[in-house]
Structure 1
């Protein structure tokens, strides 16, 4: 539905935070934005509407949302193997959660557009030299020199074309099905629920023998994987927003789902202004400073009609604060009655510096926050709708702990992230198994088996 008080550029009349203002050639930026606006959409409105419908099932408690991928995609690590491995990992995790919870899993990647990152400081000093902070490959380069750190509008186009190629790969992978998931050597050997793992492998073998796919499809081109990113660079999002010819509204064609970050959810800010006018599903990061009244006012602005599947509230509190800060937010949305999804991002609130200077996260603290989320949801009578993770299918050493424990001494061996530390494949899959163990349907099965 068209909003008569909104246009794709109305955000420009509001205050905005964490967008670069130091492009040396302002005219080149304007020309690049115009070029983006003429390029084909990356995703289509019909696909986005499919996602909204599936998220409505999550809001009803009849499905689970799994959202994950890189903290920030890079140009350097753009390879078929990296995309395939992360996609496969998400499918494996979804399979575990589906079997344990007896509910379908809506799979949404942080991929094909997650390039920009808000930084706490616009400048960085190293060895007495001060330069602009690295803000993601879509803005500037990671190398610590003046040329690389200067914002370059050509990077916006490179990010678009990489996103397009990534989506082409994902759509090709989506047609191949779940065959690779049944390979036992791809499951970690320690720290997982062997009962559940064996049940999954047996079920997959049985379904393959019958010629049945474990992923229901409504047609040969059915979409079972969706994309998302933080809507940080509003000039890019504006350029990628298209009006549907049938008058059904404006859709941001850069991704199926977008979210507003913890640092950019100001009620009078440009990010909220932009997001209120698009029809895409919207995520809102909710941190320790979020108050119940603010949650409800954001819902008033972003979903006044109470459309199911429209809003996902993504908690990110940290292991120490989740039990204190989350329940009252859940209680407020439950009393309000409008449908929302509650998801948990256990990554951002649990970041610290290791003794050797590496930014890292502890697997145990990540798990503690997830468990706190599940406990709060149970206490408040709210469906624990999903997980939002920074993760990779690669065997990196960025987060501590896990089934093959990463120590502080290990961090330097395969620390490849361009921004924040990610769970590696073994850690992410183990987390899925541990979450699965807490699901009621699995506990009931185990009790009967005993």
Structure 2
């Protein structure tokens, strides 16, 4: 495993326009935290990051499929062993189904161990005539609606670092210690299909069951399947935090953002000449860019110029977030532009963010059927153009929350409040996540 040391920075981003950054009231406190973070060990390592780049390249060629999932915004309060285990279990269950459906390896990436900051549409929030800074995630401020809670505090970045480290340590223990054993994961999925609400997937599960029995009869070494590779990702939103986590690989001299294996920039921060792109341009991690329905083809080519000028396979992932009603219309021109450019990208769909609505009783939510329709549109467009639908990127939790309408168990508007627990955006619950996996697996089978 490569050694990462001698903290350095990706030069140039400070000279670029930067959006979505907290207004810290104490510059000296911010510098002290940044300096502290620069002195601390990396959270991920160069060898792991390079291995993920190789797998993302395979997904771009259709030889693997990416599953990226996790919380909209992690919270310090929910950073518990049980919550981490349940999220990991959900992703492993989904991956087992997708692996069978795709007949290819599934690249497992969690929105985890760092997804503590979120962009907001406004800098302030007003309630009952009181205006305070917006909640920007636990690494910036607190969700409680008080002035003391909402003032950005740089010390929270250090808390986020420490919690990310313990999360990654637990995940490594689970994925290397037998918890991810394929036989165990398959038994969890059999329990899911036993629910009458998901009986339509029972024949698919039986196929997987027969495949497992065949593997056992053929003498497959199941001990070799007890461990899996699992990678961490988050939006590279807080520039000071990401800059402080950059390290130089002592063997290659290359710079890596060691806060996560995979980083992405969002719709609000992806300007080709802006600071977030400039920072990620300087590191070797595989990176993603969220792409909305108003994106112009020339914008994508400009981003490729900045983030992957030499056309390294696996370096750049384009994560489309179009909305179910627009994906079939907006995506083809972007795919054609990227294909004409010729440099490789991996295409992944985020079917969540383009389909957010407000229920009649005031909850921010999504409809499961609409989310799935965007996934279908993503597959339809790629197959019509002869390009590769490389993966899915979803907000989910391992808990039985009631945040997204519909699904096999028919969450309705009247029941949203029963377990609506997200701090920002609605997430698929455990059952809905598995339902999505079975439906996407059927799409992968063609």
TM-score, normalised by the number of residues in structure 2: 0.93
Match of 2:59 in 1: 58
Alpha-carbon offset, residue 214 of structure 1: 8.5
1:370-449 map, 5 Å: 370-440=375-445
For 1:429 and 1:357, the matched residues in 2 are separated by 27
Alpha-carbon offset, residue 331 of structure 1: 1.2
Residue of 303, 308, 314 corresponding to 1:303? 308
Match of 2:5 in 1: none
Match of 1:67 in 2: 68
For 2:117 and 2:317, the matched residues in 1 are separated by 21
Indicate conservation of the 8 Å contact 1:188/1:430, yes or no.
Answer: no
1:321 aligns with 2:326: yes
Match of 2:370 in 1: 365
Residue of 188, 194, 200 corresponding to 2:202? 194
Alpha-carbon offset, residue 438 of structure 1: 1.8
Match of 2:186 in 1: 182
For 1:62 and 1:414, the matched residues in 2 are separated by 39
Alpha-carbon offset, residue 24 of structure 1: 2.0
For 2:50 and 2:441, the matched residues in 1 are separated by 29
Summarize the Cα distance change of 1:201–1:248 in structure 2 as closer, same or farther, 3 Å threshold.
farther
Match of 2:94 in 1: 93
Q: 1:413 aligns to what SS in structure 2? A: helix
Indicate conservation of the 8 Å contact 2:175/2:230, yes or no.
Answer: yes
Match of 1:225 in 2: 230
Q: 1:384 aligns to what SS in structure 2? A: coil
Provide Cα deviations, 1:255-277, integer angstroms capped at 9, x if missing partner: 00000101101111001110111
Provide Cα deviations, 1:117-160, integer angstroms capped at 9, x if missing partner: 00001100111111111110000000011111111111111101
Provide Cα deviations, 1:239-290, integer angstroms capped at 9, x if missing partner: 0000111234100000000001011011110011101110000001000111
Indicate conservation of the 8 Å contact 1:72/1:418, yes or no.
Answer: yes
Provide Cα deviations, 1:49-92, integer angstroms capped at 9, x if missing partner: 00001111111111101101000000111111111111111111
For 1:114 and 1:187, the matched residues in 2 are separated by 31
Provide Cα deviations, 1:362-416, integer angstroms capped at 9, x if missing partner: 0011011000000000111111000000001110000000110110111111011
1:245 aligns with 2:250: yes
Match of 2:356 in 1: 351
Match of 1:26 in 2: 27
1:258 aligns with 2:263: yes
1:130-209 map, 5 Å: 130-175=131-176, 176=178, 177-178=180-181, 179-183=183-187, 184-187=190-193, 189=195, 190-191=197-198, 192-205=200-213, 207=215
For 2:385 and 2:137, the matched residues in 1 are separated by 38
For 1:206 and 1:375, the matched residues in 2 are separated by 33
Q: 1:283 aligns to what SS in structure 2? A: strand
Q: Give the unaligned 5+ runs of structure 1.
A: 1-5, 444-450
Summarize the Cα distance change of 1:360–1:238 in structure 2 as closer, same or farther, 3 Å threshold.
same
Q: Give the unaligned 5+ runs of structure 2.
A: 1-7
Indicate conservation of the 8 Å contact 2:58/2:314, yes or no.
Answer: yes
Structure 1 segments (4+ residues) deviating >6 Å: none
Equivalent pairs counted in the alignment come to 431
For 1:204 and 1:241, the matched residues in 2 are separated by 43
> Alignment RMSD, CA only?
1.7
Match of 1:446 in 2: none
Provide Cα deviations, 1:153-190, integer angstroms capped at 9, x if missing partner: 11111101110000011001102132431322244623
Q: 2:390 aligns to what SS in structure 1? A: strand
Indicate conservation of the 8 Å contact 1:69/1:110, yes or no.
Answer: yes
